[in-house]
Amino acid sequence: MDPLSRLTELFKQFPGIGPRQAKRFVYFLLTQNNFYRDNLTKLILDLKNSVAECATCHRFYIKDASKSSSCQICSDPHRDASQLLIVSRDVDFENIEKSRTYSGTYFILGGSVPILEKDPASKIRGDELLKLIEEKSATGLQEIILALNLTPEGENTEQYLISYLKPLTDTKNIKISTLGRGLSTGLELEYSDSETIKNALRNRH
Amino acid sequence: MDPLSRLTELFKQFPGIGPRQAKRFVYFLLTQNNFYRDNLTKLILDLKNSVAECATCHRFYIKDASKSSSCQICSDPHRDASQLLIVSRDVDFENIEKSRTYSGTYFILGGSVPILEKDPASKIRGDELLKLIEEKSATGLQEIILALNLTPEGENTEQYLISYLKPLTDTKNIKISTLGRGLSTGLELEYSDSETIKNALRNRH
Amino acid sequence: MDPLSRLTELFKQFPGIGPRQAKRFVYFLLTQNNFYRDNLTKLILDLKNSVAECATCHRFYIKDASKSSSCQICSDPHRDASQLLIVSRDVDFENIEKSRTYSGTYFILGGSVPILEKDPASKIRGDELLKLIEEKSATGLQEIILALNLTPEGENTEQYLISYLKPLTDTKNIKISTLGRGLSTGLELEYSDSETIKNALRNRH
Amino acid sequence: MDPLSRLTELFKQFPGIGPRQAKRFVYFLLTQNNFYRDNLTKLILDLKNSVAECATCHRFYIKDASKSSSCQICSDPHRDASQLLIVSRDVDFENIEKSRTYSGTYFILGGSVPILEKDPASKIRGDELLKLIEEKSATGLQEIILALNLTPEGENTEQYLISYLKPLTDTKNIKISTLGRGLSTGLELEYSDSETIKNALRNRH
């Protein structure tokens, strides 16, 4: 395979990119100057040096002068240590942090558990989570918030996590809570499913 | 204007129908047999006789032998008279009733209040609602549930209704509640807006 | 089934209308005044009296004082009798007539021939077309233009018609032509299929 | 700006990529192994060495052992030297070549001329084209085929090129032709615009 086709193949692995757009990326790069291409490749190669996975919450973070093995949030003494919010992926973390409504700590599962999955443990960072809860229980952890997609896979992950964590959280007297369900922004009642209506009615206030 | 164009114009007033589809409706009718067309027009003309607006909740309902001026739900002694759920339109009522999670009574506002509307009272059945609450307060009404779209117009209607009803409900000691907010079915955290995340966190349990 | 559900069922048979929109049509009609509903039903019922199928080209046309059994186009001595353009449906005829680029006469097939159809003759007005060509050949018909969709079903109909008409048109020395193929308005070469590029190159000028 | 944000900014310049997808690309790269990232950056950096712009037709092509300054098509003695097909971009060339219906030579304009453009010459390789036609006229060039999008900008480019080339092609007795217009694959007459119907009727055969 020639270099253009090989580069096209690599771009096809980017999330959401089909063969036609992958090829357009290649032509786009061909028409860019060296400065852009050098910048792009330098930044990609530097990811290894500039970004680390937090030893505590497992999210990717920009390394700084501190040489800490934990990210800025996990190292921040002002974050509320009594709460631990669990998400599937970094993008979920980012979106929640952007909403500026949560001041506790995080844990990134690194995935979710598909329905009928035979080996759920292989899909998420279960061991690391148990270990972290154990540690944090010694320093005031009171609540674990499961923040998962309201999709079949997200609900399955939630169920799995609840049974997985329960033995430990019961012992340590830590509450497990899940996100509130009901109407989300923009929703019209005419187009709401029965489950959402049920949740919205039950959680009325 | 010729009859085909006049009929096309009338179909263009149907919700969601543009000029091209309106014309296709006309050609569709031209190719149907007399039986279909007679049936269709008969049912349309019979709407006046077969359907009535309920004197209590103002929804459209199929008249029956009872000659009652109230719909089957308003006449049903098994519905919970302590709850009154308020919606904008008949389709909202239908969708909530379909979810089989509510056993109280209803009121159809007949519309909603657009933001910056100068004459909100003209947009909804405010007088009729006040009168109904007054009556129902004598027979056990304890809670009014505002079930409005989570859109700017729906939220505006909710705000308007709360101030409009408050003097009466305070006097009568009736609670006003609104639908729970949070994640609705299918929602992914990556694509959730900050408002929904805030609601989902606040209403966690 | 109650009258509202029966009316919803009839609207579901309208082209392109699903159950939800059918129901919205019913509620729309419920909120219209008598004047609108009377107008609508009157126009639908009058279709039988106000519209006729042309005995010559088989399109639907508005009857006029002339009591003619042929439509205004078929009766118009200024239309070019040497050309007969064949389309599947009235909407195709309308769109071509709207383009103001054709001054000959028309014939409406009333359908098209699906691929692998066992009884093609049952799908289109074949006998009527043969009879019309026979008649028109006596009054100067020189060209039959097949104006069919460039879809698999349209191309199949075209092939079927060519073999069906050939014995007669060869005898009468009438030319059969098909619409030009190539780039249509808005098309970008990047997104063109090979067949269209082939046609566009072959038909360059 | 941190390295992740800077990389996100670069991906936002990729064709068709918004801020959210740019960020997903960054997270995608973070979760890939070194092998993938090294491969990707190596191929991007090698573009400069592995790909050249053809000195004749100006398309990008994979360099080979021949050290030729012209691409494989321009160097191929079996391509028909009597035809020169002119396209805006490499993707247009690729799509036409993929259709296997053209055996002549190509020229890539490198862009198109927007309507009301004040400096059309700056948008396309006009000088290079004139020079190439001059040369090719000595070796048998008989026809220039303008293969441009059937969009307002494509049609404007076509008009500009015709006046731009005419003095030379008239002198050299070279024909300028444009792609055929009419129905393109999948088109239905009901949804065709008048211009396309006019072209399809005019180019019938």
Q: What is the pLDDT of residue B64?
A: 86
Contact C184, D162 (CB under 8 A): no
Q: Do B200 and A177 touch (CB under 8 A)?
A: no
- What pLDDT is stored for residue A1 in this prediction? 85
Kindly indicate the confidence band of residue A143, based on its pLDDT and cuts at 50, 70 and 90.
Answer: very high
pLDDT for position C65:
84
In whole numbers, what is the pLDDT of chain A averaged over residues? Answer: 95
In this prediction, residues D6-21 reach a mean pLDDT of: 95
Chain segment A193-202, per-residue pLDDT in tens: 999 999 999 9
Arithmetic mean of pLDDT over chain C: 95
Kindly report the nearest CA distance between residue A204 and chain D, in angstroms: 33
Confidence at C66, pLDDT banded by 50, 70, 90? confident
pLDDT at C68: 87
Which pLDDT belongs to residue D66?
Answer: 83
Edge-first strand listing for the sheet containing C143-146 = C104-108, C80-87, C143-146, C175-178
Mean pLDDT of D81-87: 98
* CB-based contact, B142 to chain A, within 8 Å: no
| CA-closest candidate to residue B44, choices C38, C22, C50 | C38
Question: Residue B197 — very low, low, confident or very high, per pLDDT cuts 50/70/90?
Answer: very high
Residue D103 has pLDDT above 90, yes or no: yes
* Distance of alpha carbon B15 from alpha carbon B33, whole angstroms: 25
Residue A119 — pLDDT band, cuts 50, 70, 90?
Answer: very high
Structure token digits, residue A66: 């501190």
Distance, in angstroms, between A154 CA and closest chain D CA? Answer: 19
C-alpha distances (whole Å) from A124 to each of A117, A121, C112, C140 are: 12, 6, 56, 80
pLDDT at A22 over 90: yes
* Min Cα–Cα distance to chain B from C94, Å: 10
What is the rounded distance in angstroms from the CA atom of residue D112 to the CA atom of residue C177? 35
Of A39, A51, A62, the CB nearest to D10: A39
Q: Is the pLDDT of residue C186 over 90?
A: yes
What are the tens digits of pLDDT across the range D127-165? 999 999 999 999 999 999 999 999 999 999 999 999 999
- Report which secondary-structure segment, H or E, holds B107: strand B104-108
Is the predicted pLDDT of residue B68 greater than 90, yes or no?
no
The answer to whether residues A112 and A119 touch, using CB atoms and an 8 Å cutoff, is no
- Cα torsion at A188, A190, A192, A193 (round to 10°)? 180
Chain centroid, CA D104 distance in Å: 15
Strands (E), A54-179: 60-62, 80-87, 104-108, 143-146, 175-178
Alpha helices, DSSP H, located in A138-189 = 152-172
Chain A residues close to B201, C-beta within 8 Å: 96, 101-102, 145, 147, 179-180
pLDDT above 90 (res B70): yes
Residues C127/C58, Cβ–Cβ less than 8 Å? no
Tell me, what's the pLDDT at B1? Answer: 85
Q: Is the pLDDT of residue D108 over 90?
A: yes
- The percent of residues in chain C predicted with pLDDT above 90, rounded, is 93
pLDDT at D17: 97
Confidence band, pLDDT 50/70/90 cuts, at residue D26: very high
Neighbours of chain D (3+ CB pairs under 8 A): A, C
Query: Considering Cα of C54, then C59, then C62, then C64, what sign does the dihedral take?
Result: negative
pLDDT of residue B72: 95
Q: How far is C11 from chain D (nearest CA, A)?
A: 22
Residue A9 class from Cβ within 10 Å (0-12 exposed, 13-18 middle, 19+ buried)?
Answer: middle
Q: Report the alpha-carbon distance of residue B175 to residue B157 in Å, rounded.
A: 18
- Residue C131 CB neighbour total at 10 angstroms: 11
Give the integer Cα–Cα distance in Å for D188 and C112: 12
- What pLDDT is stored for residue D159 in this prediction? 97
Cα distance between residue A185 and residue D123, in whole Å = 45
Q: How large is the average pLDDT for residues A127-152?
A: 97
Predicted local confidence at residue B103, as pLDDT: 96
Mapping DSSP to helix (H, G, I), strand (E, B) and coil, where does residue A183 land?
Answer: strand
- Residue D45 CA to residue A7 CA, distance in Å, equals 11
Q: Is the pLDDT of residue A66 over 90?
A: no
Position D148 scores a pLDDT of: 98
Average pLDDT over residues D68-88: 96
Average pLDDT over residues C55-81: 93
Residue D53, helix vs strand vs coil: strand
Q: What is the average per-residue pLDDT within A12-35?
A: 94
pLDDT of residue B60: 95
CB-CB under 8 Å, C51 with B30 = yes
Residue D79 phi, psi dihedral angles, 5° rounding: -75, 145
Which band of pLDDT confidence, cut at 50, 70 and 90, is reported for residue D102? very high
Q: Which pLDDT score, from 0 to 100, does residue B135 have?
A: 96
When pLDDT is averaged across residues C22-50 and rounded to a whole number, the result is: 94
Residue D55 near residue D69, CB atoms below 8 Å? yes
Q: Which residues of C touch D99 (CB under 8 A)?
A: 194-195, 197-198
Could you identify the residue written with the tokens 């080339």? D165
Please return the burial class of D12, using the count of CB atoms within 10 Å of its CB with bins 0-12, 13-18 and 19+.
middle
Could you report the predicted ipTM of this complex, rounded to two decimals? 0.90
Q: What is the mean pLDDT of chain B?
A: 95
Residue D80 has pLDDT above 90, yes or no: yes
Confidence of residue B154 (pLDDT cuts 50, 70, 90): very high
Strands C51-53, B143-146: parallel, antiparallel or unpaired by DSSP?
unpaired
Element (H, E) at C124: none
B167 has pLDDT over 90: yes
Angle value at C-alpha A46, between A45 and A47, nearest 5 degrees: 90
Chain C residues within 8 A of D193 when measuring between CB atoms: 184-185
Partner-chain residue, chosen from D98, D180, D192, that has the shortest CB–CB distance to C203: D180
Pairing outcome for strands A80-87 and A143-146: parallel
Alpha-carbon span D76 to B139, nearest angstrom = 94
Q: How far apart are CA B14 and CA B9, in angstroms?
A: 9
With a CB cutoff of 8 Å and minimum separation 6, the contacts of C31 are none
